[in-house]
Amino acid sequence: MPWQIDMIVLFFVILCAVAAITVKDLLSTAILFGAYSFMMCLLWAVMGAVDVAFTEASVGAGVSTVFFVAAVFRTSRRTKD
């Protein structure tokens, strides 16, 4: 696997992680976490851990995003800090 792809994906992982904690809107944070999980899933797949990638895609990018959105829907959408 060319290392350039690794680097691009890793850059996006860090970008999503930093964006998720700086953004004020919690709904955006949930979506950014989904994107983060998807990028991690790509990294696992590149490293050959296909089972882990599958779990990350279904749990991290799929269901947990929905749980976050549901929790935001029932609480508040903006953070104070």
Partner 1 sequence: MKFFGFVVVCLVGGLLLYGTADFPDWGDPDSPASTHLSDIYIEHAFEQTQVPNIVTAILADYRGFDTMFETAVIFCAGLACFLLLRDFKERKERFYRHVPTGVILHVKNSKKALRVGRDFEHIDKDWIPSDLIIKTVCRILIPFIQIYALYVVAHGDFSPGGGFQGGVIFGSSLILLAISYDLKILVRRIKEKVLGICAAAGVLVYVGIAAICMPMGKSFLDYSALEMFVFDPHHVRALGMLGVEIGVGIAVAAVMAIIYINIVSEGRHDEGL
Q: Which stretch binds partner 1 (CB under 8 A): 7-15, 23-31, 34-42, 47-55?
A: 47-55
Contact between 54 and partner 1 per CB under 8 A: yes
Contact between 63 and partner 1 per CB under 8 A: yes
DSSP three-state, residue 2: coil
Q: Tell which phi-psi region holds residue 25, choosing left (phi > 0), alpha (psi between -120 and 50) or beta.
A: beta
Out of 74, 77, 78, 79, name the contact with partner 1 by CB under 8 A.
74
Out of 5, 55, 77, 79, name the contact with partner 1 by CB under 8 A.
55
The DSSP element (H or E) to which 29 belongs, if any, is helix 26-46
Length of the chain in residues, anyone? 81
